[in-house]
Amino acid sequence: SRPLIVILGDQLTEDLPVLTGAPDNAVVALFEVEEEGRYVPHHPQKIAFLFSAMRHFAQALRQKGHQVHYTCLDDNDNTQDLISEAERVATLYDCDDIRVTSPGEWRLFDRIQKRRSNTPTWYMVTDDRFFCSQEEFNQWAQGRQRFRMEHFYRWMRRETGLLMDEQNNPQGERWNFDQDNRKPLPRDIHPPEPPQHQPDQMTREVMALVETHFGDHFGTLEGFNWPVTRRQALNDLNHFIKHALPFFGDYQDAISDQHPFLYHARLSGALNAGLLRPLEVCQAAENAWRDGSVPLNCTEGFIRQILGWREYVRGIYWLNMPGYKQRNDLKADRNLPAFYWTGDTDMRCLRRAIEMTRDHAYAHHIQRLMVTGNFALLCGVRPEALCDWYLAVYIDAYEWVELPNTLGMVLYADGGYLGSKPYCASGKYIDRMSDHCQQCRFDVKKSIGEDACPFNSLYWYFLERHEKQLAGNQRMKLIYGSLNKMSSDKREALREQAIRFLDQLDYEPAYGQGDHL
Ligand code: FAD
Ligand code: DLZ
């Protein structure tokens, strides 16, 4: 018998069990298909990154002696859908079964499940590229009333031994160094330039292809600078550890009007596509602390994102899908403001976050959470509309990681299952953490009037609208205390200001049909 080994675009890892366990006669297959590029309108850089990385990966597999089938997007016989392409190619090579590493997204997992009794037969193999398997996560979750990332993270630290001492206690005698982190942005800041990867012939061909087929999607291809091979990804990792990690913790929450990447790793695209393993990334960070080149608060803060948040959101996704996607506990019902697809707004923080997204298929965590996310939360944007946007526009976006972050962390649409309180904030937060407000046409100190920062009235109106769901939350007590001390005239003025603002916003009719940049 002869298997077809299917490698999906985010499974570009040479030691995947489906590959290491493949018999000599196996055919390994990768497919570029329209369907995956269009189920949301992915940013052209994301599609170019994946197609180029897939082509380089196929080349590396051939060099290792595998027999590889590669379907290019514009091949005449391409069925343009992953499942039908796999079944077509299996027949072409006389393969009796199709083996695939379990997909990261429920959408595909469900479709494959439903084809299991077909011929050729589909087999799904567990994805071993995570610290915590789904069975382990489910066991951890079982019997717990409330989940908190911090508890999960401490368990993961103990399990892996990362940043633990000989007695299995946390290094530095603390689990968490957040108190030392989260400094606002200093005036004169010079973050390191990311390494430059000149697009080679293969990447240039892919960019032309993407321009032809997906040129109408939001986002530019110009300045494409993502790693498309494992070698380039390792280069980015080493560069980050040396030049940015020593400041990562300090400025983790800062937002700059000029510097999109600040001291962030820019590694999520490579990690999620499989070019890097999370363990090697965490070990590189730990080693840099051990040899004295990086302070503990930076190393711990960074490892927590990968060992903690990344694993935690994946566990939550698989534990709760498909129902999780339907949650909308705050009953948010607005469409996405149209400027998310154009950047055409006078609000400087939003404009810059969206422009950076358009130019790099990237915005860092705090821009996603506290600028575009916070604004959508305060406006009451429908989870589905916002999730589709986040899934489309970022280099690293796959539903397993995007959905819990957007629906849970940003929109609180799961009623506090993932995060203990909504990350809602007024303009004051953005002013403290960024240098946007000095350059904005709105006055962050004002809440009422034509030039008042819209975040301010929206913030109070949001709190007022959701008093019933949120006022009982211990962590919101202080802020509801302030709301309740406010005079009714002031509350009314804020409410009117917010409603007027929401009424004059343009909203997209449906995703992808807006006026794209
Ligand atoms: P750094 O800030 O340098 O962090 C290091 C690594 O930690 C990242 O590469 C990533 O692998 C991991 N990480 C950090 N925060 C998170 C988190 N909250 N959840 C999971 N992993 C995390 N991340 C994605 O990988 N894909 C997504 O689709 C995605 N969607 C998001 C949507 C929203 C609304 C929000 C608020 C966050 C989202 N994130 C997503 C998490 C985070 O914003 C990105 O991982 C991070 O910005 C990637 O940039 P970086 O590599 O420079 O990260
Ligand atoms: C995101 C993406 C895109 C744009 N295109 C392809 C593709 O043509 N072929 C492919 O195998 N994978 C692609 N992907 C990644 C898949 O969407 C991803 O594997 C699933 O969402 C499961 O996580």
Q: What is the predicted pLDDT for the residue at 512? A: 47
Q: Which ligand is nearest to the CA of 396?
A: 1
Cα 514 to Cα 218: distance, rounded to the nearest angstrom: 9
ipTM value: 0.99
pLDDT tens track for 451-494: 999 999 999 999 999 999 999 999 999 999 999 999 999 999 99
Q: What is the predicted pLDDT for the residue at 53? A: 98
Cα 316 to Cα 325: distance, rounded to the nearest angstrom: 11
Alpha carbon nearest to ligand 2 atom 12, residue: 9
Burial of 442 (0-12, 13-18, 19+ CB in 10 A): buried
* Helical packing angle, 278-290 and 296-303, nearest 10°: 170
Alpha carbon nearest to ligand 1 atom 49, residue: 266
Q: What is the predicted pLDDT for the residue at 145? A: 77
State which amino acid sits at residue 66: H
Atom of ligand 1 nearest to the CA of 397: 28
Q: What is the predicted pLDDT for the residue at 510? A: 57
Q: What is the predicted pLDDT for the residue at 146? A: 79
Atom of ligand 1 nearest to the CA of 265: 3
Query: Could you tell me the two tokens for 287?
Result: 């080693």
Q: Which ligand is nearest to the CA of 388?
A: 1
CB 514 within 8 A of CB 392: no
* Substitution site in 405, 410, 423 for ligand 1 pocket (most atoms within 8 Å of beta carbon): 405
Cα 385 to Cα 363: distance, rounded to the nearest angstrom: 19
Alpha helices in 321-433 (DSSP H): 348-360, 365-366, 374-379, 383-393, 399-403, 427-433
Q: Which domains does the chain have, with CATH numbers?
A: 3-125 (3.40.50.620), 134-191+228-320 (1.25.40.80), 338-504 (1.10.579.10)
Cα 358 to Cα 371: distance, rounded to the nearest angstrom: 15
Distance 373 CA to ligand 2 centre (A): 25
Atom of ligand 2 nearest to the CA of 34: 8
pLDDT tens track for 424-461: 999 999 999 999 999 999 999 999 999 999 999 999 99
Query: Is ligand 2 within 6 A of the CB of residue 109?
Result: no
Query: Could you tell me the two tokens for 132?
Result: 């915590």
Alpha carbon nearest to ligand 1 atom 28, residue: 397
Three-class secondary structure of residue 94 per DSSP: coil
Question: Which element (helix H / strand E) includes 70?
Answer: strand 67-71
Distance 400 CA to ligand 1 centre (A): 12
With a Cβ cut-off of 6 Å, ligand 1 is lined by 264-268, 271-272, 302, 305-306, 309-310, 313, 364-365, 368-369, 373, 390, 394, 396-398, 401-402, 405-406, 409-410
Atom of ligand 2 nearest to the CA of 73: 8
Residues in the chain, pLDDT under 50: 511-517
Distance 131 CA to ligand 1 centre (A): 17
Query: Is ligand 2 within 6 A of the CB of residue 41?
Result: no
CB 167 within 8 A of CB 160: no
Cα 413 to Cα 386: distance, rounded to the nearest angstrom: 11
Measured CA to CA in angstroms, residue 9 lies from 13, 30, 121, 210 at distances of 10, 8, 21, 15
Distance 268 CA to ligand 1 centre (A): 6
Three-class secondary structure of residue 311 per DSSP: helix
Strand order, beta sheet including 121-125: 67-71, 27-31, 3-6, 97-101, 121-125
State which amino acid sits at residue 309: W
State which amino acid sits at residue 241: I
Q: Which ligand is nearest to the CA of 370?
A: 1
Atom of ligand 2 nearest to the CA of 33: 8
Atom of ligand 1 nearest to the CA of 267: 51
Query: Could you tell me the two tokens for 98?
Result: 């199709």
Q: Which ligand is nearest to the CA of 112?
A: 2
Q: Which ligand is nearest to the CA of 395?
A: 1
**Start-to-end CA span in the chain (Å):** 51
